[in-house]
Structure 1
Amino acid sequence: MAKIEILIPAMGEGITEATITQFLKKVGDFVEEEDSIMEIATDKVDSEIPAPQAGKIVKFLFNEGDTPQVGDVVAILATEGEDTASEEIKENPKQEIQKPTPEDFAPVLLESIAPQISNKTDDGNFISPLVRNIAQTENIDANELKQISGSGEAGRITKKDILSYLNDKKSQGVKLASSTPTISPINSGATTPASEHKSYEGENVEIIEMDRMRKLIAQYMLKSKQVSPHVTSFIDVDVTGLVNWRNKVKDEFLKKENQKLTFTPIFVEAVTSALKDYPMVNVSVDGDRIIRKKYINIGMATALPSGNLIVPVIKAADELNLVGITTKVNDLADRARINKLQPDEIKGSTFTITNLGAFGSTTGTPIINQPEVAILAVGAIKKKPAVIETPHGDTIGIRQIMVLSLSYDHRVVDGALGGMFLKRIAENLENFDIKRTI
């Protein structure tokens, strides 16, 4: 019977490593096919590695907290019935022992005198092996490293960031980070470390440590406000026709398509259409360059049972009809809530929608999902008295009204563009075809 190598799987473009957060099985355990063996985490999402087939776990090649690369063998599985004691399993079967050269000793000596860098910062951000190697080579310790502002996912330090820091440091001849006061990412500028905050002393309080995802969200939100000058515009939308249409067809839709029809797919469709009309909202900023995306990927902010937030992405939303969007929305939302999303499914959005109305809020001022330049918040639909214009004069009636709020990056989206784009979304919803068939 064969021995099976269990690998770190490919998890989407740009993701090269994952941290093993927890083993779910032990060496010697028998597992069934698709049983989860371990939990892994990238800087965006947690996931699990399942057994490719039934068998016995023979060996783990990494420890909890290690960060193997995509494609690395992390465990060995022997199919049931194999005598695993009779054969030694090598951790690196392809590695051959070679006679060392003088050059081989250089990195060993360097490592012995260079500061050791953990694979993650104190606030939970992962540090890639490449960045750690550069830091150790340049004698940058962990305290100095954490002062470098990262431009990667959720503030992660990239190769470009650390090399830029080193260039600045060498040109100025000073240790830049060491002279910078420590700033907590949570209290937005307070120079007192959180561990020295004393305002709660003597009070009846509970101290709750942020989990990894909440730390990432906190860093991400703060960075977005620091990067983008936010402006928010609001508009009232009469969605009476849309509400009546959905109420009329939702049962038939469920029976015919086996999908629950919520308002979210309709909002996605309206936004997608507006982005086609105003493509300069479907952009990102790279320095002094504006990157216009010729594809439309819609992120939908989704609340998790833990109280955290994640943004799964509807890829190529402009190529889907309402049934296709509905199917995608329901699938992503359902799997997000049980932590079954793949890393690639929360990357690449070009515009994000957040539904504040799901929790009863009428409106709000959402924070832009970087590197996008705008985000739409959808408020609760409420029955309100409204002026109704008719050929015979104005009357007062009860209408289904909602408020849309659009936050946008004033570096590239001015009030005119933001206002026209928001108005077009409102028009798409108000002029929804109530005779539409499914």
Structure 2
Amino acid sequence: MAHVDVEMPKMGESITEGTVIAWHKQPGDEVDQDEILLEIGTDKVDTEVPSPKGGVLAETLVEEGDTVEVGTIIATLETEPEAAGGSTNDAPSPTEEPAEQEEAESETEADEADAAPEDDEQEAATPAPEEAASPAPSADEVEVVMPKMGESITEGTVVAWYKDIGEEVTIDETLLEIGTDKVDTEVPSPAEGVLAEKLVEEDETVEVGTVVALLASEAEAGSVTPPASEAPDETQEAAPETDEAELPSTSPSGDGAVRDPDEPQRPPEETIKRRGDDGRFYSPLVRSIAKEEGLPMSELEALEGSGRGGRVTKEDVLAYLEEREEAPAAPATAPERPPRPSRSDEGPPARGDYTVEDGPSDEALRQQYGDRIEVQPMDRMRKMTAEHMVRSKATSAHVTSFAEADVTGLVRLREANKEVFLEREGVKLTYTPFFVKAAVEALREHPLLNASVEGDKIVIKHDFHVGIAVAIGNKGLLAPVIRNAGDYNVTGLARTAASMADRARNKELQPDELQGGTFTVTNIGSLGSLMGTPIINQPQVGILATGAIQKRPVVVENDGLGDAISVRHMMYLSLSYDHRIIDGAMGSGFLQRVVTELESFSKDQDLF
């Protein structure tokens, strides 16, 4: 027989210890590989731990309720020699000295590495909470993982599932939509089969690499059945919280509102015990929620638990708290909470502290405005835009300056080249690359417009990463970034801008392509606007809006023969800038440099 150690798994970068909540197997019980062996918990999440090997549970080294450090051996398994990757001759005899046993075990481990490298690779990586909670796929199942969406993106949110459990899916067919704070992206199916299980619900946020679903092959399709009800599954306790800081600071109903600092004091930590007087064990997660929500031990003990052996789960506590808030009279032992002040009572949001809160119910809105209204909830993109725009106005002192440009030469240059440009480059020649080119030349002479404010310091960027605003129908606006825009000519800018705009509308942008911008250009004229006052895209300090090009009669000099009236192609430009570091003179100087650059284009200019 071979021995396999079971360790307390690592549950995240900031988690250094875990508590054994319940053993699902007892010494002497047989256990299959990946069968649930025990349940552990932290103050953030409770997780079921699968067995690393098949065999017999020889010994449990940690009792229920004990808290030990990550990496501590908590149990040993006795496995068949072939299950451990070795032979009967590799196992040490009972008479061997400890040093000889260690040497024999080292040889056994070396044999395991040669015989089953796949198993070693699986064991080398400490399971994350999500992985521990997810059942291991069979040979005929395919894992769908949260994809990596850029170097700086470490997590994603499931925005919507496009398939339900039991539905067939073909390879590369859209399975779900995920989002970050920058962009929403559709995730294609990595294989053909049937959606067997969803391991992450909509609106849940999990780390990159987390298994979010399992696909079954056609051979297993008959065994896949949709869930019978929407009752919460106890195994969902293992899902990570959306934000570690969110649990203690928000209400159990998920309204995202910040707690009133004047609300009653929470009971001290020592009042929430690991075990109640009835002997029931309360996991660190349950105790954490109880402390943060002002739930005394006596009230916690009165709850009927839906977990294993009557244990109180996270869902039990949150459901009780929600019922208590909705009830007209709370239990005598529960502290009464003062009503949360409305946004209008609190005054304007603090810098970086604005979030879109849940609005009144549809019924309340109809009572206020009547029945002839239509209520549309904000989608995720609109909420992110609202938060970002309000935060920008609260951060920067916005000022907008205007200028007018005669772009007759630019119009004639484009008209003369647009057909041959489309044929040669495969993309349409728009005015956007000319606007970006002019903005970059102006930034070279006014580097303070290519900066950001960090506290009391100004960070001037020497690379010109220009964002171009792209309208996504009625859903909102994205600003993909053309990196090192100063290195491109008009042709290169045209190709890059066209590619980014097309991918933005088809949800194919990566989050890294939407961040790192140092300045933004928005062509509001493409939608017919003459001028506008755009909001700065933080942490930038300037944004240029280009209005519609129109023919207008203009007074022009006629080669020294006096003034004349001529029909010219004219446009307005507007620059919004951060008045903390950009004054009116500098803003106007920048605009005039853009005007000079745009008016320098002519029909006879070589575009290629």
Query: TM (normalized to structure 2)?
Result: 0.55
Question: Who is 1:95 aligned against?
Answer: none
Partner of 1:15: 153
1:337 aligns with 2:505: yes
The 2-side partners of 1:336 and 1:208 are apart by 24
Provide closer, same or farther for how the CA distance between residues 62 and 202 of structure 1 changes in structure 2, counting only shifts above 3 A.
Answer: closer
* Alignment correspondent of 1:251: 419
Q: How far apart are the structure 1 equivalents of 2:479 and 2:515? A: 8
The one of 515, 533, 557 aligned to 1:347:
515
The answer on 1:283 being equivalent to 2:283 is no
Match of 2:592 among 423, 426, 430: 423
Write out per-residue CA displacement over residues 309-332 of structure 1, whole angstroms, 9 at most, x where no aligned residue.
222222221222222211121122
Q: Conserved in 2, the CA contact under 8 Å of 1:78 and 1:84?
A: no
Task: Give the 5 Å matches for 1:15-54.
Answer: 15-54=153-192
Between the aligned partners of 1:358 and 1:199, the Cα distance in structure 2 is 40
355 and 145 in structure 1: CA distance in 2 versus 1, 3 angstrom threshold: farther
Letter paired with 2:172:
E
One of 230, 242, 252 as aligned partner of 2:398: 230
Q: Residue by residue, what CA displacement relative to the aligned partner does 1:35-74 show, whole Å, maximum 9, x if unpaired? A: 1111112222211221223344333322223211111111
- Contact 1:357–1:380 (8 Å) recurs in 2: yes
**8 A contact 2:469–2:522 mirrored in 1:** yes
Query: Relative to 1, partners in 2 of residues 1:197 and 1:28: Cα closer, same or farther, differing over 3 Å?
Result: closer
Instruction: Give the counterpart letter for 1:24 in structure 2.
Output: Y
Instruction: Provide the aligned C-alpha RMSD in A.
Output: 3.2
Instruction: Tell me the CA shift for residue 188 of structure 1.
Output: 6.3
- The 5 Å alignment of 1:252-331 reads 252-331=420-499
1:68 partner SS: strand
* % identical aligned pairs: 43
Cross-structure match for 1:75: 213
Q: Which amino acid aligns with 1:380?
A: A
2:378 matched residue in structure 1: 210
Q: Does 1:384 align with 2:552?
A: yes
Equivalent residue number for residue 246 of structure 2? 132
Secondary structure (helix, strand or coil) at the match of 1:129 reads coil
> Hey, what does 1:182 align to over in structure 2?
342
| Partner-residue secondary structure (3-state), 1:408 | strand
How much does 1:410 deviate? Answer: 0.5
C-alpha contact 1:183 1:193 (8 A) present in aligned 2? no
Q: CA offset at residue 225 of structure 1?
A: 1.4
Quick check: 1:182–1:193 contact (8 Å CA) kept in 2? no
Query: Is the Cα contact below 8 Å between 2:412 and 2:602 reproduced in 1?
Result: no
Secondary structure of 1:262 counterpart: coil
Distance 1:388 1:188 in 2: 49
Higher relative contact order (Cα pairs below 8 Å, separated by 6+ residues): 1
- Supply the distance in 1 between the matched residues of 2:218 and 2:359 (Cα, whole angstroms): 52
Q: Deviations over 1:258-306 (max 9, x none)?
A: 1100101111111122212221110111111111122211112222222
Cα distance 1:331–1:432, how it changes in 2: closer, same or farther (>3 A)? same
Q: 1:220 aligns with which of 358, 366, 388?
A: 388
Residue type of the alignment partner of 1:345? E
* Offset of residue 241 of structure 1: 0.4
Q: CA–CA distance in 1 between the matches of 2:382 and 2:256?
A: 22
Query: Match for 2:258 among 130, 144, 149?
Result: 144
Per the TM alignment, residue 142 of structure 1 is displaced from its structure 2 partner at its CA by: 5.2
Does the aligned pair in 2 maintain the 1:6–1:76 contact within 8 Å?
A: yes
Larger Rg, first or second structure (1 or 2): 2
In 2, Cα distance between equivalents of 1:323 and 1:146:
56
SS in 2 for 1:63: coil
CA distance 1:307–1:72, shift in 2 (3 Å):
closer
Q: Counterpart of 2:601?
A: 432
Q: Which shows bigger deviation, 298-307 or 379-388?
A: 298-307
* Structure 1 unpaired stretches of 5+: 87-110, 112-117, 120-127, 148-177
Q: Is the 8 A contact 2:152 2:512 kept in 1?
A: no
Change (3 A) 1:293 1:76: same
Q: Following TM superposition, by how much is the alpha carbon of 1:381 offset from its aligned partner in structure 2, in angstroms?
A: 0.6
What is the aligned counterpart of 2:573 among 367, 391, 404?
404
- Per-residue CA deviations over 1:217-264 (Å, capped at 9, x if unaligned) read 222222211111111111110000000010000001011111100101
Distance in 2, matches of 1:40 and 1:18, equals 6
Q: In the alignment, is the contact (CA less than 8 A) between 1:385 and 1:397 conserved in 2?
A: yes
User: Taking structure 1 as reference, are residues 193 and 78 closer, same or farther at Cα in structure 2, changes over 3 Å only?
Assistant: closer
Tell whether the 8 Å contact from 1:58 to 1:78 is kept in structure 2 after alignment: yes
Where do 1:100-139 residues align within 5 Å?
128-132=242-246, 135=249
Q: Indicate yes or no: 2:552 matched with 1:393.
A: no
1:240 equivalent to 2:408? Answer yes
Instruction: Pick closer, same or farther for the CA change 1:433–1:373 going to 2, 3 Å.
Output: same
**Bigger Cα displacement from structure 2, 341-350 vs 283-292:** 341-350
| Structure 2: segments with no counterpart, 5+ residues | 1-138, 225-236, 262-337, 350-356
Q: Is the 8 A contact 2:186 2:507 kept in 1?
A: no
Q: 1:412 to 1:27 in 2, by over 3 A?
A: same
Mapped partners of 2:402, 2:221: distance in 1: 69
What number of residue pairs does the alignment pair up?
364
CA 1:278–1:145 in structure 2 vs 1: closer, same or farther (change >3 Å)? farther
Alpha-carbon distance in structure 1 between the residues aligned to 2:163 and 2:344: 37
Q: 1:180 to 1:82 in 2, by over 3 A?
A: closer
